[in-house]
Amino acid sequence: MNRELTDLIRSAGRMVLNAGHISVEQKEGHANFVTETDRAVQDYLIEGLSRVFPEAVFFAEEKDDNVLTDKPTFIIDPIDGTTNFFRRRRMSSISIGLCEHCKPVLALTYNPYTDELFTAEKGKGAFCGDTRLHVSDYPPERSLIEFGSAPYYSELAEVTARSIYHLLTDFGDVRRTGSAVIDLMNVAAGLSEGTFEWHLKPWDFCAGSLIVEEAGGRTGRIEGGDLTYEAGQSVMTANPRCFDALRECLLKAKL
């Protein structure tokens, strides 16, 4: 992995760790917030990435007019788990995915609290530091499924609650970290068997989906079909042993 990129994401991580007073603003939607640090980290990453890849385009959480084209595009979440960040819950990550022809080819996520750097390049495997990652082989009945509650969309509360009900009946148990990126890294590292959320934005899952796939996992939309990266959508990932059963279970919640 390009050393300039790993240095950049690590130093952005120090901005998260060193944030003193955190001022929080409400964004559009239910329980959706942004802090000065989200904006500062995003500006820092865009400036640094522009130096390394002058031709790159940016698609980022705290930026307006995001459009994904065939051009090399960095999809960035400066702080995934913003609520965890300003509540000082020490469970957030920075996420950078590089798309070419609208598909991720390179990914980095960094959890500054644990100092874990996850990376992947298309076709070259996924790593945490120097350690190669592999998804687990646990079956549904022994699984842990991470979920996101789609907190900004109250209209998805019911389908989310019903999904959890079906999972608690058909699968092992569920987990909620408050960071979609951390959920995805847990699947890639074999710490859980799957993730789902009824709506995520591309910056929440772009880098993480490549890392899960390169660790041997499967990704897709809950309703069926592959993930795309130009707009929000439902997202699920799982080890190959659980993927189809997880989709079937979640679709029961939609009826």
Choice from 62, 204, 213, 214 touching ligand IPD (CB under 6 A): 204
Compute CA distances 237 → 36, 135, 246, whole Å: 31, 11, 9
Q: Which is nearer to ligand IPD, 117 or 150 (CB)?
A: 150
- Check residue 13 for interaction with ligand IPD (CB under 6 A): no
**Any residues with CB less than 8 A from the CB of 83 and at least 6 apart, and which?**
31, 33, 89, 151, 178
Residues 37-66 close enough to bind ligand IPD by CB under 6 A? 61
Out of 16, 49, 96, 150, the only residue in the binding site for ligand IPD (CB under 6 A) is 150
Distances 155 to 14, 132, 161 between C-alpha atoms, Å: 36, 39, 11
Q: Whole-number minimum distance, CB 24 to ligand IPD, in Å?
A: 12
Paired tokens of 253: 């919640």
Is residue 237 near ligand IPD by the rule CB under 6 A?
no
Kindly state whether residue 197 participates in binding ligand IPD, applying the rule CB under 6 A: yes
Write out the two tokens for 51: 């130096």
- Under a CB-based contact definition with an 8 Å cutoff, are residues 47 and 15 in contact? no
Cα distance between residue 76 and residue 42, in whole Å: 8
Question: Whole-number minimum distance, CB 14 to ligand IPD, in Å?
Answer: 19
Stretches 65-73, 80-88, 123-131, 165-173: which one binds ligand IPD (CB under 6 A)?
80-88
**Tokens 């009945």, residue located:** 141
Binds ligand IPD by CB under 6 A, chosen from 62, 77, 193, 214: 77
180 belongs to the binding site for ligand IPD (CB under 6 A): yes
80 binds ligand IPD (CB under 6 A): yes
Binding ligand IPD (rule: CB under 6 A), the pick from 6, 11, 50, 149 is 149
Residues binding ligand IPD: number (CB under 6 A)? 15
Q: Rule CB under 6 A: which residues touch ligand IPD?
A: 61, 77, 80-82, 148-151, 178-180, 197, 200, 204
